[in-house]
Structures are given as structure tokens and as C-alpha cells.
């Protein structure tokens, strides 16, 4: 089969690779859609855990077409989404139910072949039925699961007032995830007017221009302030927008060497809670349930569905203006 293969750092090619075989406890998924994530770019450039050569892609939906030893034959034909995490199950974090912090974390699309290919081998325990959800919507389940893990980490409650920095696809998913938990008063901040208009169309209570926004212009502060930009300078500004007793969630992925300056006294005196959220946490079924309830709002999160050759070009030269989620589509 033809697949997108990362041979080594900086080397991405569409090339012939052997068809995968279903080992014991595994299935073969015929891939329908796989989303492009910035993590794929980081893997290509050696900034994230990986094992070259590898087929990338970890936001996957498709159909089980073959099963290995020990897997019920009835699973064949099931439409599924894939949980890409492969935690060890024995380290301290795994025993505590925190797979994203596994000391020996592996994952499809990073250390195991992923979804930028027509077929992939997956542990049967990592596939989850999607019912009649369209494949391109079901391929949003992995990033939505990451979002819902962040929502759970923030211990959100209905009626909270939230501020979101970043109205790209992840920021919009975070807004929709908060809405699903009863947080409807969400203000979105971004530099790009088209993204702010899309946030409004998806139910943002208010929007603001990130180049000029000031705390005083947004009222008396927010119960939850979330970064979905991955920009350290943005993170440094977040306490100024928080009410006393608020939670600040670092969700965007800043470069490892980036630093943001906070006043420890302010965190202490105002009883601010500063938290992070990494990846997903066995909650892909929860994400699918949220997606089932979104209807056309989920459709709006996918802007491009491309063949493999175009995905290779997208990873080398990412589309920017007017882009939401970009996906490999086997039918494209």
C-alpha cells in the first residue's frame, strides 16, 4: 500500500510499504479519515517522542476489516475511532489512572505506525464504535478527547464565565467542550477576524481582538482562563484576566524552551489555580458522545479533506489563513 512515511527527521515521503497484518489482540482498520495535528509536524522535526521510520497520524476513524487471534470476529465491519495512546499499564502514573503521564508512553502515529495510510494495525482495545457518525467527524474524537480531558482537569461547573485565547480548531473545540459541560458564557480571543466570526457562529458569547484586548474591557474577570495558542507571552498575561479564585489552564503546546513570567505572590494571594493538561485519558468514548450531540457544529471544524500527497505538502508548508482542521481523506 502507499503510505505517508517519516523516514527520519525532516524526511516525509509518500511511498510503498507492506500491508499490515493483524497480530494477536489486534485488528486492521481501513482508514477513512485522519486529522493533521501540529504534533505530526513536531514528530517530523524531532521535537516529540517518535521512532523513525514511522507512519504518522493519530486522529483516526475507519472500519475494522480484519481481526487477529483472540479478537471476536463480530468486530469486523464495525465503524470505529482510534485511541492512539499505548501506556505501559504498570508505572506509577498508569496505576493512578493517568495514562498520558506514563513513564514509557507509546502511541500510534509516533512510536507505532499510524493513520496516514489506507490500512493500519491497532490493538482491539484501542478502537471505539462510532455508530453512524460521519468518518470525518469521528476523526475529531482524539483531539476532542484531549479537550475534554482539559475540561475535566479544570473541574468546570455550569454557569462559569470563561475566556479562551486562540480560536483555531482546538480553541473552538475547547469552547464547544465547555458548552457541553454547561459553560455557555465563553469569550474567544484571536488575532484573525475570520476565526472570531466562526467562534461567534458556533456560539461564543463574545469575541475580542488579541492584538489589543485588555482585562478592563472584558468585565470583572473570568472563572476560567484557557490558553489554546501555545504562545508563552499569551500565557504570561492570563492571570490579569482571571477573577480571584479562578483556574488558569495551559492547554496550548508552547515550545519546551519557552518561559512565561508569573508573580508567585499573585498566585498565592488571589488563590489562583494554575494547571496543565496533556493528551487524553481513556475518554475517547466521552468525546464521541459530545460529537454526537454537536451536529453541524462539528462539521464546521473540518475545512480541508485531502489525499496523501497533499497531506505530505501540508506538513511541509502548513496552510494558515482560513484553515480549520485538515484531514487525510481516503476518498479524496
Q: Where are the domains of the chain?
A: 2-143+280-329, 155-276
For the whole prediction, is pTM greater than 0.85? Answer: yes
Q: Which CATH number fits domain 2-143+280-329: 3.50.50.60, 3.40.50.300, 3.90.180.10, 3.90.1150.10?
A: 3.90.180.10
DSSP E strands in the chain: the ranges are: 2-8, 11-16, 26-35, 59-67, 79-82, 85-86, 106-107, 119-123, 127-129, 161-165, 185-190, 206-209, 222-227, 242-250, 273-276, 302-306, 325-329
- What sign does the dihedral 40-44-46-47 (CA atoms) show? negative
Q: Which fold has domain 155-276?
A: Rossmann fold (3.40.50)
pLDDT tens, the chain, 332 aa long: 999 999 999 999 999 999 999 999 999 999 999 999 999 999 999 999 899 999 999 999 999 999 999 999 999 999 999 999 999 999 999 999 999 999 999 999 999 999 999 999 999 999 999 999 999 999 999 999 999 999 999 999 999 999 999 999 999 999 999 999 999 999 999 999 999 999 999 999 999 999 999 999 999 999 999 999 999 999 999 999 999 999 999 999 999 999 999 999 999 999 999 999 999 999 999 999 999 999 999 999 999 999 999 999 988 888 776 789 999 999 99
Amino acid at each position: 500500500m502507499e503510505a505517508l512515511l517519516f523516514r527520519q527527521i525532516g524526511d516525509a515521503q509518500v511511498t510503498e510499504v507492506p500491508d499490515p497484518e493483524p497480530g494477536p489482540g489486534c485488528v486492521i482498520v481501513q482508514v477513512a479519515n485522519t486529522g493533521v495535528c501540529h504534533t505530526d509536524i513536531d514528530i517530523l522535526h524531532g521535537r516529540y517522542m517518535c521512532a523513525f521510520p514511522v507512519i504518522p497520524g493519530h486522529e483516526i476513524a475507519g472500519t475494522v476489516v480484519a481481526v487477529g487471534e483472540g479478537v471476536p470476529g463480530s468486530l469486523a465491519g464495525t465503524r470505529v475511532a482510534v485511541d492512539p495512546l499505548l501506556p505501559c499499564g504498570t508505572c506509577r502514573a498508569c496505576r493512578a489512572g493517568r495514562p498520558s503521564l506514563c513513564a514509557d508512553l507509546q502511541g500510534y502515529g509516533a512510536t507505532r505506525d499510524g493513520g496516514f495510510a489506507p490500512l493500519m494495525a491497532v490493538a482491539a482495545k484501542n478502537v471505539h464504535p462510532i455508530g453512524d457518525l460521519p468518518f470525518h467527524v469521528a476523526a475529531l474524537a482524539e483531539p476532542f478527547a484531549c479537550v475534554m480531558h482539559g475540561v475535566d482537569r479544570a473541574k468546570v461547573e455550569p454557569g462559569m464565565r470563561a475566556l479562551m485565547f486562540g480560536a483555531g480548531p482546538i480553541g473552538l473545540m475547547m469552547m464547544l467542550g465547555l458548552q457541553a459541560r454547561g459553560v455557555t458564557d465563553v469569550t474567544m480571543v484571536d488575532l484573525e477576524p475570520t476565526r472570531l466570526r466562526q467562534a461567534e457562529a458556533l456560539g461564543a458569547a463574545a469575541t475580542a481582538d488579541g492584538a489589543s484586548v485588555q482585562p478592563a474591557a472584558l468585565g470583572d474577570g473570568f472563572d476560567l482562563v484557557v490558553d489554546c495558542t501555545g504562545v508563552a507571552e499569551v500565557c504570561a498575561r492570563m492571570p490579569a484576566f482571571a477573577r480571584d479564585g479562578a483556574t488558569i489552564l495551559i492547554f496550548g503546546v508552547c515550545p519546551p524552551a519557552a518561559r512565561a513570567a508569573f508573580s508567585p505572590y499573585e498566585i498565592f494571594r488571589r488563590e489562583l489555580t494554575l494547571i496543565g493538561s496533556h493528551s487524553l485519558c481513556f475518554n475517547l468514548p466521552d468525546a464521541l458522545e459530545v460529537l454526537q450531540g454537536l451536529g453541524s457544529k462539528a462539521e464546521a471544524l473540518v475545512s480541508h479533506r485531502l489525499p496523501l500527497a497533499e497531506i505530505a505538502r501540508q506538513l511541509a508548508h502548513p496552510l494558515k489563513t482560513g484553515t480549520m482542521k485538515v484531514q487525510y481523506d481516503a476518498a479524496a
